[in-house]
Structure 1
Amino acid sequence: MNAPSAPRAVPGTPSSAEHPPPPDLPADAGRRSVDWRIRFAALALIWGFSFLLIKVGTDGYAPLQVSFGRLFSGAAVLAVAMVVRRERLPRSVKTWGHLFVAALFLNALPFSLFAYAELTIPSTLAGICNATSPLWGMALSLVALSEDRPTRRRVAGLGLGFIGVLTVLGAWQGFSGLDFAGTAMALLAALCYPIGWIYVRRTLTGNDSSALALTGSQLLVATVQLALVTPFFTAAPDGFPLLPTLSVLALGSIGTGFAMLLQYELVQEIGPTTAQMVTYFIPVIATAAGVALLGEQLSWNTPVGALIVLAGAALTQSRARSSAGSPPRKARRERNGRRTARGRGLSRS
């Protein structure tokens, strides 16, 4: 999951990997009492621990119930934020139609797939599969977005990331001991995010509503989607076990709602290029949490493959970072040459 540098009115994804662009914040939003590095580390920890919370939540609830509880509590947090900031819900029926599709691919479907996946695979593997989202995004953008052109660096990053996935899965061992269905669902969940990003970019860019209003509305729609589906596929829980219940509430209120607000501030303050770097810390924290707190087993190929996946993801994002940061060397030379020429002309006159 990476933070797209889309226009302000485009909502992002929640997740254990949700990275929306900044909303309309007050003029002093960048001047915070807590240093941005501390908030950056907090965001990485929150999203890294999301996969552990999903695992614990599924010990007491069905996967769809975990996802519904997550969305409900996350939407409640954003609803409060919208009331405090006096944000209004979108009024256009067309906008709500686009939000329905965005909510499906950015929230309801990936959240549920990750929850189902963690019934049979470790949370560490789910976190690493989530890190493949930028790789899927690069591959899809070459087809769906005409302005994204393939470069040698980005194609190399895609190939490197694919090698990393095969390393994590232990392809040379014939994927022995691997739950294929669970792994496939986790990878499919990671694929949902770039599909949703591309759709949002094509349909909601330039919308009059703020990103906070759109994202809060998106979570609301996703909550309604699962509220309609969950009763048909799950039975009502017999009780409310303490630890799974607390995990689901924390996953939604902190890992989804509060984390979104925290990232809004970071993107507004330090820009999407730096803020999106949190993506590369998530699988590391998810792996450490799963091993240390859940006692999950970790073979050598899992961390090695994860590092290869992250390196490939970084390469696929290198073009966006260079365009968002300092200009290419050739462009700088041309601009400096124009400035020099103008200076010479003024001195001669």
Structure 2
Amino acid sequence: MVGTMTTSATPEALPEAPVSAASQEQAAAASATHQETPGSARRKVDWRVRFAFLSLVWGFSFLFIKVGTEGYAPFQVTLGRLLFGTVVVAVVLVVKRERLPRSPRTWAHLSVAALLLNAAPFSLFAYAELTIPSTLAGICNATSPLWGMALSLVALSEDRPTRRRVAGLGLGFLGVLTVLGAWHGFSGVDARGTALALLASLCYPIGWIYVRRTLAGSGHSNIALTGAQLLVATVELAVVTPLFTSMPSHFPMVPLLAVVALGALGTGLAFLVQYDIVSEVGPTTAQMVTYFTPVIATAAGVAVLGESLAWTTPVGAVIILAGAALTQSRPRAARRQP
């Protein structure tokens, strides 16, 4: 649930998920050129542990949003999230002595990417969770690969659908209808909040397509582009937030800590971990985090927040994840590594 510019699915997807500012091809190239000494490799935490950490952080992000909105307005939660996430990445940029892009054209593209992958979806999820449980928001986030598949039918001519992937698209949206209890007339489900969460999930593949066409192969590192993207998104929210909210009269500690965790862990640190995993094991394995996130989000919502769970929610979630997995499948020849 990072929501930056990786082309794998998020986070909130590979947010969060995202949160990276280059394509998977760039990450793969980086892994091919990055060499570690035997000593550094031994000291490195196993990628499975980092994968589990990433799944846990992005799964809990929906809980953090819910708790944050109990004390602050949705735009304030999003602004805090972006601010703390930017600080974490900025520290890494300074340590690694990475330079931000200088081209005005690159910054213009980053402004659009920041809106589509950070400012808009983060805000939409925050507003959605005013009226829907965090469990439902996490499951709605899992529809991002389905939206991406639907968009690929018209937007990416080089990524043509197969019968299996089209079947996955249909299966996934059947899962959405199951979660919402369509045969009961969507009773007990807040239509507006659910629509906002689904719209947030749609923002990610739109953003990924835009990034793939404008910033892939720009010559800048993932960290530099992501730092710039988060900085722009923070500025965008800093401009918008005062127009719709007023300064809080007090600062509740628990919601504040939730916002700090959401930004520093779910947006800043999560990106760094995600990029590290992509560089080590490749984007195909790394994007599997998408299928663990809604499971953890549901467990956290039920166990920590005491949210109710009808049978349609877990059953529909399983159907959605099965459909999403089918939409991400490729022919064997395409999956074969050189």
TM-score normalised by length of structure 2: 0.91
Alignment of 1:298-317 (within 5 A): 298-317=309-328
The letter of the residue matching 1:113 is L
Unaligned runs of 5+ in 2: none
The letter of the residue matching 1:258 is L
Displacement of 1:13 in angstroms is: 7.0
The letter of the residue matching 2:35 is A
Q: For the structure 1 residues 120 and 234, does the alpha-carbon distance in structure 2 shift closer, same or farther, using more than 3 Å as the test? A: same
1:193 to 179, 199, 204: 204
Matched with 2:17 is 17
Displacement of 1:322 in angstroms is: 6.4
The letter of the residue matching 2:63 is L
In the aligned structure 2, how far is the partner of 1:321 from the partner of 1:228?
48
Alignment of 1:138-153 (within 5 A): 138-153=149-164
Q: For the structure 1 residues 13 and 267, does the alpha-carbon distance in structure 2 shift closer, same or farther, using more than 3 Å as the test? A: same
**Contact 2:101–2:107 (CA<8 Å) still a contact in 1?**
yes
Displacement of 1:141 in angstroms is: 1.2
Unaligned runs of 5+ in 1: 7-11, 328-349
**Contact 2:134–2:298 (CA<8 Å) still a contact in 1?**
yes
Percent of pairs identical after alignment? 71
Displacement of 1:211 in angstroms is: 1.1
In the aligned structure 1, how far is the partner of 2:251 from the partner of 2:127?
19
Matched with 2:230 is 219
In the aligned structure 1, how far is the partner of 2:311 from the partner of 2:91?
44
Q: For the structure 1 residues 13 and 86, does the alpha-carbon distance in structure 2 shift closer, same or farther, using more than 3 Å as the test? A: farther
In the aligned structure 2, how far is the partner of 1:141 from the partner of 1:216?
28
In the aligned structure 1, how far is the partner of 2:13 from the partner of 2:178?
27
Q: For the structure 1 residues 321 and 307, does the alpha-carbon distance in structure 2 shift closer, same or farther, using more than 3 Å as the test? A: farther
Matched with 1:73 is 84
The letter of the residue matching 2:50 is R
Alignment of 1:56-205 (within 5 A): 56-205=67-216
In the aligned structure 2, how far is the partner of 1:136 from the partner of 1:321?
23
Q: For residues 180-210 of structure 1, give each alpha carbon's deviation from its aligned partner in whole angstroms, at most 9, with x where no partner exists.
A: 0000000000000000000000001110211
**Larger C-alpha radius of gyration, 1 or 2?**
1
Q: For residues 70-124 of structure 1, give each alpha carbon's deviation from its aligned partner in whole angstroms, at most 9, with x where no partner exists.
A: 0000011001111111110101000000000000000000000000000000000
In the aligned structure 1, how far is the partner of 2:192 from the partner of 2:310?
20
In the aligned structure 2, how far is the partner of 1:118 from the partner of 1:50?
12
Matched with 1:243 is 254
Q: For the structure 1 residues 245 and 325, does the alpha-carbon distance in structure 2 shift closer, same or farther, using more than 3 Å as the test? A: farther
1:35 to 46, 56, 74: 46
Matched with 1:296 is 307
The letter of the residue matching 1:196 is G
In the aligned structure 2, how far is the partner of 1:81 from the partner of 1:281?
27
1:4 maps onto 2:7 in alignment: yes
Q: For residues 138-173 of structure 1, give each alpha carbon's deviation from its aligned partner in whole angstroms, at most 9, with x where no partner exists.
A: 110111111011210000000000100000000000
**Contact 2:168–2:326 (CA<8 Å) still a contact in 1?**
yes
Q: For the structure 1 residues 320 and 112, does the alpha-carbon distance in structure 2 shift closer, same or farther, using more than 3 Å as the test? A: farther
Displacement of 1:27 in angstroms is: 2.3
**Contact 2:8–2:14 (CA<8 Å) still a contact in 1?**
no
> RMSD between aligned alpha carbons?
2.1
Displacement of 1:319 in angstroms is: 1.5
1:230 maps onto 2:238 in alignment: no
1:281 to 286, 292, 303: 292
In the aligned structure 2, how far is the partner of 1:296 from the partner of 1:321?
41
In the aligned structure 2, how far is the partner of 1:5 from the partner of 1:139?
15
Paired residues in the alignment total: 322
Q: For the structure 1 residues 320 and 184, does the alpha-carbon distance in structure 2 shift closer, same or farther, using more than 3 Å as the test? A: farther
In the aligned structure 1, how far is the partner of 2:254 from the partner of 2:75?
17
Other structure's SS at 2:140 match? helix
In the aligned structure 2, how far is the partner of 1:245 from the partner of 1:136?
32
